[in-house]
Structure 1
Amino acid sequence: MKAKDIMYTNVVTVKQTATLRELNEIFQRHKVTAIPVVDDGDRVVGMVTEGDLIRAILPSYVELHENSLYLHNFEYLEERVHHVENMQVKEIMTPSVISVTEDTPILKVGSVFLLKRIECIPVMRGDKLVGIISRSDIYRAIFGEIEEELKRAMPREYRILVSLAHPASLKTLMTLATAIAEAKRGEVFALHVARRLEPESSLLVEAATYHSYKAPVHALPRMERHVGEAIVSAAAERKAHLLMLGWREEAPFKKKAGVGKVLSYVIEHSPCDLAVVRDRGLEKIERILVPTAGGPNAALAAKIALALAEAHQGTVTMLHVRRPGGDRKAGEQ
């Protein structure tokens, strides 16, 4: 990671001819503690901090020692503020600017902060100011990078096997699978079963583009004449917690004959929880409706819905329909 990856590009600057009153207004308005000072050509000529401003306004230790009235009468201090507020920034700035380039590694940037004890570092591209980095930016970058490495190294607690058969349904299946994996600290195994030898599966190549450290994706090519058996076998071998596959039939989902031989076999023999996705094109996940009768699969449906909602900042509505006079408590449960 380099300086350009963490720098703040909307840099607040101040002219060297600005007054200290104007400088104070900039500090207050932008909530910053250090500002690059530029000349009329917008070239960086110095740095000024809140500390510089405070030192210019408040009396020094020697002045306090020689005139103790500062300690008891704030009128003296008010007079001093009025005296210095029209001073120019160039009179109090630090003229020697310590800077880095966009390609400076963040560990080297961090070392500069430690050695020079400064608050901010301008990022330069030649003579042009392109960004600024604060100490807090460095802390977040370094500890964030360590946290990501730890997350990558930690074992995954949930495994999802996604069976891919058609390019049209890949986006929906992979979007759902990676969202669930991210919410449950899991990983995704993208399976493609081919009945004949293929040099490389385009489905698995595309599935790999959904990989991230939050939801790792592993390609799993198989060659098998009986697709249903291959899917069930792969789920068992990988000790999958959830098996996902698409359903593209147009016939109503009423009996096994209507869902195809492969899906029928998987439904009957799946070694883990099963999610069958009928793909109608998934662009956004904003609102999720979960109809439930309180059966044995209700808890799994709710967990999947909540995982999807968490990953996409969506909402979940649980729907239970009861007949007049039916058990209301059962529905609420």
Structure 2
Amino acid sequence: MQAKDIMTVNVISVSEGSSIHEVVGLLLKYRISAVPVVNSAREVVGIVSEGDLLRPEGASSAGTRRPWWLEAIFAGQTVTYEKAQGRTAGLVMTRNVITVDESTPLNEIAELLERHHIKRVPVLSDGRIVGIVSRANLLHGLADTIVDHHEPGAAKDRQLRHELIKILLDEHKLDTVFVNVTVSDGNVRLWGVVENADEAKAAEAAAKAMAGVKSVENNLGPGPMSGVPI
């Protein structure tokens, strides 16, 4: 399997000019630990993680000075909305971003995450972000039967996955930030969180109705919209 077979395609991202208030809001809303920073061409120019937000501006990870907002808390001050709005993603982001392309094998992605102690990696195509692979996505891929994706069936699996994600997004209005799909030899697995049991059943029915699908394993469940942890 490759990155394109398991990646989350509906990537939450921000621009360099996005405020810290906006970044924090996205991390909390989608329960994710980092967000890519992209330019107008969808090229990745950085990434803002929880660690970046906890690190003071201009300080190294080994620095002892607290971030401005923690200083305010310990000093008993109130952090104003205007001050939060004045900080931007471009000021706190990590610029040297580890990335992969769509054809990167899962074992190489796993090694990258382990070697660099990161939780997720953006997926690029022609220099533009097209997805993101998290540790959870890797587990979804490993749960599938391992097949040689150089075989003719691999292209069919990828097409099925692409079409099903589009159906879930366009026709069923599911937030694909919270739902992942893997396909192996025509066998579909659905992963993630939906708002209710009816949505889970509708997604399963949509998958079963597709030509070429041999079976559907439905791991979707209702619950708080916590997303795919990255």
What is the aligned counterpart of 1:62 among 61, 64, 75?
Answer: 64
Percent identical: 27
Structure 1 residue runs without a partner (length 5+): 150-210, 214-283, 285-310, 314-333
1:71-99, Cα deviation, whole Å (9 max, x unpaired): 995524x3488645421111111111211
Aligned equivalents of 1:96 and 1:70: distance in 2?
27
The SS at the match of 1:8 is coil
Aligned equivalents of 1:48 and 1:70: distance in 2?
20
Pairwise CA distance, 1:41: 3.0
Q: 1:115 to 1:80 in 2, by over 3 A?
A: farther
Aligned equivalents of 2:29 and 2:87: distance in 1?
20
Query: TM-score scaled to structure 2, two decimals?
Result: 0.54
Q: Which residue of 1 aligns with 2:76?
A: 75
The SS at the match of 2:21 is helix
Moved >6 Å (runs of 4+): none
Higher helix share: 1
Aligned equivalents of 2:112 and 2:44: distance in 1?
18
Q: Higher relative CO (CA 8 A, sep ≥ 6), structure 1 or 2?
A: 2
1:179-230, Cα deviation, whole Å (9 max, x unpaired): xxxxxxxxxxxxxxxxxxxxxxxxxxxxxxxx988xxxxxxxxxxxxxxxxx
Pairwise CA distance, 1:23: 0.8
2:98 is equivalent to residue 137 of structure 1: no
Aligned equivalents of 2:50 and 2:64: distance in 1?
21
The SS at the match of 1:122 is strand
1:11-70, Cα deviation, whole Å (9 max, x unpaired): 11101111101111111222221111012333210111122123349x997346xxxx96
Pairwise CA distance, 1:140: 3.0
Q: Which residue of 2 aligns with 1:103?
A: 103
1:254-279, Cα deviation, whole Å (9 max, x unpaired): xxxxxxxxxxxxxxxxxxxxxxxxxx
C-alpha contact 1:56 1:84 (8 A) present in aligned 2: no
Higher Rg: 1
Q: 1:129 to 1:70 in 2, by over 3 A?
A: closer
Aligned equivalents of 2:21 and 2:73: distance in 1?
25
Q: Which residue of 1 aligns with 2:122?
A: 122
Q: 1:82 to 1:61 in 2, by over 3 A?
A: farther
Structure 2 residue runs without a partner (length 5+): 147-184, 188-204, 206-215, 219-230
Structure 2 letter corresponding to 1:62: T
Q: 1:35 to 1:73 in 2, by over 3 A?
A: closer
Q: Which residue of 2 aligns with 1:10?
A: 10
Give the length in aligned residue pairs.
148
